[in-house]
């Protein structure tokens, strides 16, 4: 009976302590109280209590970081998309696993996401949905005078009545489907399609439901003659290539409706040149498909001892018959990849998404 009595006292004492702990946990002390402000509150704060300009960006950025760090990441990350951390699906279960081979971790990923969001508010040429590995690699470019000038130009263009293509949220599509360190093929275009509904951020590609333009139809024609078993799809959406490490990059990333080359020499060429320079210095054995004189200008940024350059005329109906047909660039590209022990591109993988 003495033992039971002792246990009962211990139980009562434990219960009392637990209740105090719970009460203490849910009682906010001044020392632990965290005051949060939304970005809109900071931006719309009363003029009598204005945060100094040199501190405001810091406050905004710290708040964005805090929000992002406290926000749990989605568990169903697309393993092929550029969501930040290196993804590995070789665990036999198709699960996305973070590897030690990358410097990314979840905190760093959230910090970068917060930074892209904040910078996009100040630079209209940027968008918060840019792939994080690409943002990290190109971060210094966004601070350069040319990019600030480009952003000002783009803001003015978008404020006018004539539409600008692609839409802001689609300008950086090429960065979202594959990490920058997983690029193995580069196809360079000139500038986006300039008719409504065509451009969506991947060179030569159009959304499902939009008729493939003549240049893309000529690419399909060459594929039919070059790649055994290739069947022309009923659409022009090339996202299936992008997800395999094929960078579909235009030298200029925006255009005015029905006015080709209207955004030429405004700064995009410097940005995409920086992309090629990064791939040249950090990559190895990348295959560059350079079609036409405009794309071939980017060859000056590529070390042919480190990478492979395949050149021919543009697939446009104006020039395709002068060398594009019969170039066999698609099969030659795969041969070069296989010699390196890399997975060839499945050019037939073009899902209608």
DSSP structure string for 253-272: --EETTBTTTTTTSSHHHHH
pTM as predicted: 0.74
41 pLDDT band, cuts 50/70/90, is very low
Check pLDDT > 50 for residue 7. Answer: no
Q: When comparing pLDDT for 271 and 14, which is higher? A: 271
Catalytic residue (one of 60, 82, 191, 226): 191
Tokens for 228, please give them.
Answer: 């055994």
How many beta carbons lie within 10 A of that of residue 24, not counting itself? Answer: 9
Domain boundaries defined on the chain = 128-339
Q: For residues 322 and 299, what is the distance between their CA atoms, to the nearest angstrom?
A: 21
Return all residues near 183 (Cβ < 8 A) that are at least 6 apart. 245, 246, 247, 279, 283, 286
Check pLDDT > 50 for residue 302. Answer: yes
- Stretch 337-343: mean pLDDT, rounded? 98
pLDDT in tens, 89-147: 333 333 333 344 455 588 989 999 999 999 999 999 999 999 999 999 999 999 999 99
pLDDT in tens, 100-113: 445 558 898 999 99
191 is catalytic: yes
pLDDT in tens, 50-97: 334 444 444 455 555 555 445 443 333 333 466 554 444 333 333 333
Check pLDDT > 70 for residue 306. Answer: yes
pLDDT for residue 65 = 52
- Measured CA to CA in angstroms, residue 267 lies from 11, 166, 250, 270 at distances of 73, 17, 13, 5
Domain 128-339 has what CATH class?
Answer: alpha beta
């Amino acid at each position: 009976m003495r033992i039971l009595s002792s246990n009962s006292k211990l139980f009562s004492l434990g219960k009392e302590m637990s209740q105090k702990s719970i009460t203490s946990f849910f009682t906010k002390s001044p020392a632990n109280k965290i005051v949060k402000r939304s970005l809109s509150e900071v931006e719309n704060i009363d003029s009598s209590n204005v945060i100094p300009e040199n501190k405001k960006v810091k406050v905004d950025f710290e708040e964005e970081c805090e929000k992002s760090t406290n926000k749990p990441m989605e568990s169903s990350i697309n393993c092929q998309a550029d969501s930040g951390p290196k993804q590995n699906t070789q665990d036999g279960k198709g699960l996305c696993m973070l590897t030690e081979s990358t410097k990314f971790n979840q905190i760093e990923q959230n910090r970068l996401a917060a930074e892209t969001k904040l910078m996009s508010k100040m630079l209209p040429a940027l968008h918060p949905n840019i792939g994080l590995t690409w943002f990290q690699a190109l971060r210094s470019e966004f601070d350069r005078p040319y990019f600030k000038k480009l952003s000002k130009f783009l803001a003015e263009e978008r404020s006018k009545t004539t539409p600008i293509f692609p839409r802001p949220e689609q300008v950086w599509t090429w960065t979202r489907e594959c990490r920058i360190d997983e690029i193995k093929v580069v196809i360079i275009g000139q500038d986006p399609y300039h008719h409504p509904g065509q451009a969506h951020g991947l060179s030569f590609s159009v959304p499902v439901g939009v008729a493939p333009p003549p240049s893309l139809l000529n690419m399909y024609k060459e594929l039919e003659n070059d790649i055994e078993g290739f069947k022309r799809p009923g659409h022009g959406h090339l996202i299936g290539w992008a997800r395999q490490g094929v960078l579909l990059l235009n030298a200029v990333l925006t255009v005015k409706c029905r006015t080709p080359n209207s955004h030429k020499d405004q700064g995009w060429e410097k940005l995409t040149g920086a992309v090629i320079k990064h791939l040249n210095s950090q990559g190895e054995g990348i295959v560059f498909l350079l079609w036409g004189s405009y794309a071939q200008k980017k060859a000056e940024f590529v070390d042919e001892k480190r990478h492979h350059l395949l050149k021919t005329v543009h697939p446009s109906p104006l020039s395709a018959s002068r060398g594009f047909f019969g170039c066999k660039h698609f099969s030659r590209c795969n041969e070069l990849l296989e010699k390196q022990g890399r997975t060839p591109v499945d050019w037939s993988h073009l899902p209608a998404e």
